[in-house]
Structures are given as structure tokens and as C-alpha cells.
Amino acid sequence: MTSVPPDSSPFDPDLDKRQIQKQTRRALLLILGFILALMITFIGLLLFYDVPMPDDSSLSVTTQELQLPAVTSQAAKNPLADLVNALKAAKMERVEELPSRARTLEPGTEAEVRTFLATQGQAFAAFDTLLHSPQAGQWRWPELGTEPATRWTGESISSIQNIANLIRLRYRLELADGEWEKCLYSLTSLIQFGSALQRRPGTLIHLLVAGNAQRMGESGLEAALTLQTVPADRLAVLQQLLTGLEQDRTNYELSLRIEYAIFKEMIPLMVDAADLQAYHGTKLLEPFAPLLLKPGMSCTVRAQHDQATIATLHQGWKEGLLLQTTLANEFEAKTQSQIRRLLSANPVGDYHHLQYTGSAKSILGRQLTDIALHRQTVLQLALRRYELDHGQVPDQLTILVPQYLPEVPLDPFTDLPMTWLPATQVLYSIGEDFTDNGGTFTKPASRRGPDLAMHYWWSDAAAKWREEQRLESQRNSAGRKSTKKKSASSKPAPPQAATGP
């Protein structure tokens, strides 16, 4: 029997340490493996996971809503496309190419503007042909329903914007030349043109361009109608014309559905590393940009937004704008956190939706602003007719009903009657901030003022404002001429040729 030495231990301390270290490494490896598996799973979800496409049948757009209606007598024509083609063939020059002072017809630029407009005869003829076309119901933006949105050039929008600017420049010159009837014809033509365009299928940008054209014409009525005394019956005819030219909510809803259809079509083209960098503020994710746009997630968020907006618009303009504002603010707040952005599986889609909600809210706000100003314009004519008949303006707008108005126009931001301040002779709407500031404004008909307001056009305050604007225009013109002369005089004299002794 072998005896154990008395000084030997039955346990090996080094062996115990090795076993503990081995077990610790094993535990750490398990933990690291688990963490790595979680990270791989998260990255996989981040890069490859997407939700199914949503049920967006309520947002579908039919072919009949975009294309020309069939006619039996001849092949369907599109007068609006004819106008765009005619403007292209006429090589219409852009108003923006004129100096800024000529575009606003500052004093001393009349001859330059007259010369410029004289070269645009073909463009004006094409515009008049469109207005007198018996096929007004067949106007269509040329690109809709004829080619995919990926091939749109924006040529038609640019052409319409420019012809509207040409008409505005023309009526300003006609007014300056004292050609009142021609000026009023140009104004009403531009108003009808813009209104008819708003009733045609189009995107939000198409609606915005059309609304701008109509607003251009209506904003020029003040100067034209206060230039001379216009009889009440003439004002009544003009008021009747304007009353039927207001934008309808169904057209705006159709625009939202068209926008959604185009959005789905354009998704493959939305992968842009620059968008991802703008959203995250870093280039680290740039190599993965194509994987960070999820069609299902993007369409789901967009469809939910548009479906909710359309459902709310059925209740009224005000309700639609309030919801748009709420949805835009909520999504912006949700995506402000950098952590939230980094953890998003659809950052490119989130970026585009963030841009869309902001622009959609702005365009709808502009839509309501145009409607409010349009209704105020109708009220201006009714107030003037009353004044011509009674020698004074009414104390309340309800006095205008029913002889001068069927009912008092509503403020689209409140769904309550438009506000009239007889003491100061101011008409106002509370505007996009939904806050009543008692009719306070710094500039008439400005959406950036405390309230969306304007003077009664035939009041002393309005006349004073117009005179102040005229004097300011003269001062600006004189200042620019003075600066130009100083600049010319400060140039060094050209070197003189050497002469012999």
C-alpha cells in the first residue's frame, strides 16, 4: 500500500483555477454568442424585414379618372395639351428672364414690358383659343394617364406657370395704360383659367399651380375696380362669375389618391444615399441604403395617413387641415430622436414621409387660404354693391342676405361666418394658426400675418395702402437707378492711348 506524503494536498489549486477560467470563458462565449445572435437577428430584421403591402383599395385611381372621356364624333382631344404644345412651338420666353423691376412693372419699365409682351402674340393666342374651346370638360394635364410618372418632365407645369405670369404682366400694363376693359378681361380670364384647372385631375403640385393662377387674377381686382366707378350691375355680374369658381374638396381628395398612386410607382427611385445622410446625419449607413427603404412599411404609413385625411375631409376643410397638422407634428416628433432613427428599419421611407407630411400640410393650408381670400373677394363686391345702393357700408354682413348674397360666406378655418369690422372696414379670417387676433394684419391678404385680412377696397385705409405701395415702388426704382449710376461712376477710366511728343 502506497502512503501519501504528509505534506501533499488532495486538491490541486492550479487545476481549480484552470477549471474556473475555462468555465468563465465558456460563459462569456455563450453570452457573446447570444449577443452576436441578437445583433445578427436585429441587423437581419433591420435590413431584410418588411411588412406586407397594405390594403389601399380605397386610394386606387381608375383609368377613367385620368384619361380623356370617349367621344363619338371624333377622337378625343385635350385642349390643355394643345396649349402646352402651342406654347412650346411658339418658344414662349419666360417672364422670369425679365429684370425683377420689369416683372413688377415699376415706374420707367413700361416700354420694356410693352416690347416684351409684343413678342408673345402666339402665346396669348394659344391661351385665348383654350379659353374659348367648347371642350372645357376635357382639359387634362398632358402627363396624367398617358405616361408613367417616372418620365414626367414638368414641362406642362412650367408652361402653365409662365402663361399665368404673362397674363398677370399684361393686365398690369393694361391697367397702367388706362385700358380698363382689357385689364378686366385679362383678370377674369386668368381667374376662370385657374379655377377650371383646379377641377381637373392632378397632383398636389398641379392643384397648387392652378390655385396660384386663380389667386393672381383675384388679387388684381382691387386695383382695377377702384380705378374708376364701376356700376352695381357690373359688379353683380362679376360677383356671380366668382361665386361658382371655388375649389371643391372632392378634387383635393382625388389629388391625394393620385399622389399615392404615383408614390407607389416611384418607390424604386427613392433610394438615395443623400436622403439617408440627410435623415441620419452620417454616411455610415450609405452602403446599405437600398436595403433601408421598405415598400411595405412606406406604403402602410402613407396609406394610413392619406386614408385618415380623406375620411376627415368629408367633414370639412377645417377638420382636414387640423388632422394634417396633427399627423405631421406627431410623425416629426416621433422621428426627432436620433436613437429612434437609428433603430428604424425604414429610415429612407421615414425621410420621404416626413417630407411629404410637411408639404401636404403646407399645400392644404395654402388651399384654405385661397378659399378664404376668394370668399373675401366675393364679399368685397357685395359690400360695394350695398354701398352704391345705400350710400354706406353695412354694420353687419347678415344685412347683405338675401339681396346681395344668398348667405354670408364662411371662414374655412372656423366654419363660422367671415368676420367684418365696420369701424375699421376690415374683412378677416383667423388664418392657418387658428387664432383670432381681432383682425390684426401687417399686409393685406397675407397668409403670414396674425390674421388673414384685407381692407374694404373702397375705404380710405385701402386707398392709403395702395398709395404707400406706389410711393415705395418709386423709391425702390429711384434707389436702384442711383446705385447703378454710382457703380458706373466708380469704375476706373479706360487707359488713354499714348501720344507722341
**Residue 153 is part of a domain; what is its CATH number?**
1.20.870
The whole-number pLDDT of residue 287 equals: 72
Q: 366: which residues sit within 8 A by CB, 6+ positions away?
A: 208, 211, 447
The whole-number pLDDT of residue 186 equals: 97
Question: Is there a contact between 263 and 54 (Cβ–Cβ < 8 Å)?
Answer: no
User: Are 144 and 216 in the same domain?
Assistant: yes
User: Are 314 and 361 in the same domain?
Assistant: yes
Q: Is residue 348 part of a domain?
A: yes
**Greatest C-alpha distance within the chain:** 139
CB count in 10 Å sphere of residue 49: 14
Conformation bin of residue 181: beta by default, left when phi > 0, alpha when psi is -120 to 50: alpha
What number of CA atoms fall less than 13 Å from residue 304's CA on the CB side?
11
User: Are 131 and 175 in the same domain?
Assistant: yes
Q: Is residue 142 part of a domain?
A: yes
The whole-number pLDDT of residue 248 equals: 87
User: Are 315 and 258 in the same domain?
Assistant: yes
64-78, 122-136, 142-156, 292-306, range with the lowest pLDDT: 64-78
Q: Is residue 454 part of a domain?
A: no
pLDDT at 319 over 70: yes
Work out the average pLDDT over 79-94: 84
pLDDT at 216 over 90: yes
* Torsion sign, CA atoms 416, 417, 421, 426: positive
4-21 pLDDT per residue, tens = 555 555 556 666 677 777
pLDDT at 497 over 70: no
Continuous segment of H or E residues that includes residue 442: none
Q: Which amino acid type is present at position 38?
A: L
User: Are 311 and 220 in the same domain?
Assistant: no
Q: Is residue 14 part of a domain?
A: no
* CA pair distance 302, 282, nearest whole angstrom: 25
Q: Whose grid coordinates read 370617349?
A: 70
CA dist list (Å): 79 to 84, 208, 221, 255: 9, 20, 27, 21
* CA pair distance 71, 80, nearest whole angstrom: 17
The whole-number pLDDT of residue 285 equals: 67
Question: Is there a contact between 140 and 199 (Cβ–Cβ < 8 Å)?
Answer: no
Q: Higher-confidence residue: 481 or 192?
A: 192
What mean pLDDT value characterizes the chain?
A: 86
Q: Is residue 350 part of a domain?
A: yes
Q: Which amino acid type is present at position 498?
A: A
- Provide, rounded to the nearest whole percent, the portion of the chain with pLDDT above 90: 56
29-33, 137-141, 165-169, 488-492, range with the lowest pLDDT: 488-492
170-184, 357-371, 466-480, range with the lowest pLDDT: 466-480
Q: Whose grid coordinates read 414662349?
A: 92
Label residue 72 exposed, middle or buried (CB < 10 Å: 0-12, 13-18, 19+).
Answer: exposed
pLDDT at 39 over 90: no
Q: Higher-confidence residue: 143 or 187?
A: 187
Q: Whose grid coordinates read 437600398?
A: 290
User: Are 91 and 217 in the same domain?
Assistant: yes
In degrees rounded to 5, what are phi and psi of residue 144? -75, 130
Continuous segment of H or E residues that includes residue 248: none
Of the residues 315, 340, 365, which one is the last residue of a structural domain? 365
How many folded domains does the chain comprise? 2
Label residue 25 exposed, middle or buried (CB < 10 Å: 0-12, 13-18, 19+).
Answer: exposed
pLDDT at 411 over 50: yes
The whole-number pLDDT of residue 368 equals: 96
Of the residues 336, 365, 394, which one is the last residue of a structural domain? 365
Question: Is there a contact between 368 and 247 (Cβ–Cβ < 8 Å)?
Answer: no
User: Are 197 and 317 in the same domain?
Assistant: no
* CA pair distance 263, 252, nearest whole angstrom: 16
* CA pair distance 454, 446, nearest whole angstrom: 9
User: Are 114 and 168 in the same domain?
Assistant: yes
Question: Is there a contact between 379 and 427 (Cβ–Cβ < 8 Å)?
Answer: yes
Reduced to 3 states (helix: H, G, I; strand: E, B; else coil), residue 145 is: coil
The whole-number pLDDT of residue 492 equals: 55
Q: How confident is the model at residue 89 (pLDDT cuts 50, 70, 90)?
A: confident
Of the residues 165, 193, 228, which one is the last residue of a structural domain? 228
242-261 pLDDT per residue, tens = 998 988 899 999 999 999 99
* CA pair distance 323, 312, nearest whole angstrom: 7
Q: How confident is the model at residue 474 (pLDDT cuts 50, 70, 90)?
A: confident
* CA pair distance 294, 290, nearest whole angstrom: 9
Question: Is there a contact between 349 and 340 (Cβ–Cβ < 8 Å)?
Answer: no
CA dist list (Å): 177 to 115, 118, 186, 467, 489: 14, 15, 14, 18, 34
pLDDT at 430 over 90: yes
Question: Is there a contact between 265 and 148 (Cβ–Cβ < 8 Å)?
Answer: yes
Q: How confident is the model at residue 219 (pLDDT cuts 50, 70, 90)?
A: very high
- CA-based Rg of the chain, rounded to a whole angstrom? 33
Domain of residue 279, residue span: 254-365
Work out the average pLDDT over 195-214: 93
User: Are 93 and 168 in the same domain?
Assistant: yes
Which DSSP string do the residues of 336-388 spell out, in sequence order? --HHHHHH-S-HHHHHHHHHHHHHHHHHHHHHHHHHHHHHHHHHHHHHHHHHH
Q: Is residue 488 part of a domain?
A: no
Q: Higher-confidence residue: 70 or 40?
A: 40
Work out the average pLDDT over 429-436: 95
User: Are 203 and 324 in the same domain?
Assistant: no
- Provide, rounded to the nearest whole percent, the portion of the chain with pLDDT above 70: 84
* CA pair distance 235, 188, nearest whole angstrom: 12
451-461 pLDDT per residue, tens = 999 999 999 99
Of 402, 403, 430, the residue nearest 417 (C-alpha): 430
Q: How confident is the model at residue 142 (pLDDT cuts 50, 70, 90)?
A: confident
Q: Higher-confidence residue: 20 or 302?
A: 302
* CA pair distance 282, 280, nearest whole angstrom: 5
Q: Is residue 426 part of a domain?
A: no
The whole-number pLDDT of residue 487 equals: 57
User: Are 219 and 86 in the same domain?
Assistant: yes
The whole-number pLDDT of residue 463 equals: 96
* DSSP-derived secondary structure letter, 413: T
User: Are 260 and 217 in the same domain?
Assistant: no
The whole-number pLDDT of residue 149 equals: 78
Q: Is residue 276 part of a domain?
A: yes
